[in-house]
Structure formats: C-alpha cells, structure tokens
Amino acid sequence: MTKILKSNTVGIKEAAEILRCGGLVAFPTETVYGLGANGLSETAVKLIFKAKNRPDNNPLILHVSSLEMASEVAYEIPVIGKKLLEKFWPGPLTLVVKKSDKVPVNVSAGGKTVALRMPDHPIALSLIKEAGFPIAAPSANISGKPSPIEAGDVLSDLDGKIDAVIDGGKCRVGLESTVVDVTQNKVKILRHGAISLEQLAELLDYKPEIDTDKSLIDLHEIKYAPKCSIKLFTLDNAPFIGVKDGIVALSFSPPPSIFSIKLSSLEEYAAKLYSILREADKKNIKILYMEKPSNSGIGAAILDRLQKAESR
C-alpha cells in the first residue's frame, strides 16, 4: 500500500525519513508530481526506474533547495547557467551541466552530465531541505503515460509500487520544466516546457538553439501515450463537425460539441492538458479533437506534447 501523506510539517518529516531510509516518495512541484528518491544513493535511485518501468538509459533530474546543494553535484556551473538560474530559480527550468563525482551513475544514465532544478513549490523545497540531499525525481507516472498533476494521478499509476505520496493538490503549471543544456556555455533547448523560448531569449539577448538533432532527448523521451487518438484542429479545419465517436476536448473557439472545455489562455491549456488525456482514457473515448495552440510562449511546449501524442 502506498501511504498518502498530508502536505504539512508532519507529512514532510515522514516523507524525508522514508527518503533517508532509501524509499520512494512522490511529491508535488509547480510543474507535475515527481517520484523522489535519495539522489545520492544508487540503490535508492534504482527503485525509481523499477517502479516507473523506465528505461535505464534515460537520465534523471536532481532537485535541489539551494545553490550550495547544486554546486555539490555539478562539476561546474558555467556563467550562462548562473545567469539563467539567478533569473528562473526556483522555477520550471532544468539545467544540464557537467556532473561531479557525487552523482550516482544511474542518475546520469552513465553520461558525464547531470540535470538540475530548484522547484518553485513550498512542499518540494521543504522536503529537499528536510532530507538534506538532492532528490532525484522524474515525473511520477508509469513511463509513457501523461505526467501526473494531482496525487490521484500518481496513485492510479503507482499505487502499491511506491512508499508514499504527499498530497499537495493540483500542480499550478501542469506541464514539465524546460530542459536546457548549458555545458558549452551557450543555451540549447533539449525539451520545451514551462519557461518559453521567448523568456530565455529576452534574458540572453539571442534566440537559444533548439536541439534539432534530438538524438539525446528523443532517445529518452517516451511518447506521451493516452489510449485515445488525438487530432489537432484549427478553426478553418474543423473535422469534428458531425463526428460522433470523438469529442472536442480543449478549444479556444466556442464549444462546438456537447463535451468541451472552453479555454481563455495558453496557461489554462497547459494546466488542463494532462488531466483531459487521463479523463478521456477513463471514459474510453476514442478520438480527442484538440485546438492547435499557437507555437509561442508555453504553446510550444503544449504543441510538442500534442504532436508526440498525435504522431504515435
């Protein structure tokens, strides 16, 4: 049985104790729920891969609560990385830097780098502080499923496979962090996420490179795979009209179907995306028609997830 812990001091203390003993605890962050283990323990980290059924060539993010903690697991944080973290930490930006000897081999999947993030969530930060070590945490879903944005999502994937989950309600952002490589002292986006290309460009005074080769992240990135199929539509191309076996799930246009959620912003789209995918699977819906978001701001991250799900 997986224990549900309250998001208060007692819950956090108990969660930290489980982590110190080498166990697994899922916890809320501002993006999605993470599945945490002691990030300095190879044995504990091994359990994450097993619980999620995650391929061991896919490295993990270490979550830190201070710059000091980040410095211990980084061989170095380049000037450009410092500039980014001063602006965006705590927050949904993950920096890939050269790793120090302290990082277990399975966290970095045998590579020379480590991904670091300071989450902008009081529970996550208190848990890391209380534990006293960086917490390795991928999204707390079975590999290939949409990331969990509330404790119930975590339990529907991992109940009985992990020691506990801290119930901290819904995640504010609803999509994963942006992952950038700064090892070459320039910024390269490996995964679109909650911090947009435009936000990065504004700080840097240049447009960061996007990993086009994708060899790295594509190898790791499991396709977002709800059971239903997804079709993207734009206003001048509305295939759902008259279609009976699908529903329009998320739309900026007036709802053209019985079941739909009318959106007013890209942020709302991001926050609702994964719960709609999970909901559709529960209801055995075959086709979801989703309005194509614009490719700007957090829209790029939404589009990235939708296109992966659509192209399966």
CB of 258 to ligand TXA, least distance (A): 33
- 130, 211, 221, 268: residue in contact with ligand TXA (rule CB under 6 A): 221
- 139, 183, 196, 275: residue in contact with Mg ion (rule CB under 5 A): 139
Does the protein bind ligand TXA through residue 106 (CB under 6 A)?
no
Q: What is the DSSP letter of 244?
A: S
Site string for ligand TXA, 198-217 (x = CB under 6 A): ------------------xx
Nearest Cα residue to 14 out of 170, 169, 164, 168: 164
Does the protein bind Mg ion through residue 177 (CB under 5 A)?
no
CB of 238 to ligand TXA, least distance (A): 33
Q: Cβ atoms within 10 A of the Cβ of 184, count?
A: 10
CA distance 156 to 127: 23
Residues 19-38 that bind ligand TXA (CB under 6 A): 29, 31-32, 34
CB of 1 to ligand TXA, least distance (A): 23
DSSP string, 22-78: T--EEE--SSS-EEEEETT-HHHHHHHHHHHT--TTS--EEE-SSHHHHHHHEEE--
CA distance 74 to 98: 6
Q: What is the total count of residues that contact ligand TXA (CB under 6 A)? A: 30
Distances (CA, A) of 110 to 60, 78, 113, 196: 11, 21, 9, 29
Binding site for ligand TXA (CB under 6 A): 29, 31-32, 34, 58-61, 92, 94, 96, 108, 111, 113-115, 117, 119, 137-139, 176-177, 179, 190-191, 216-217, 220-221
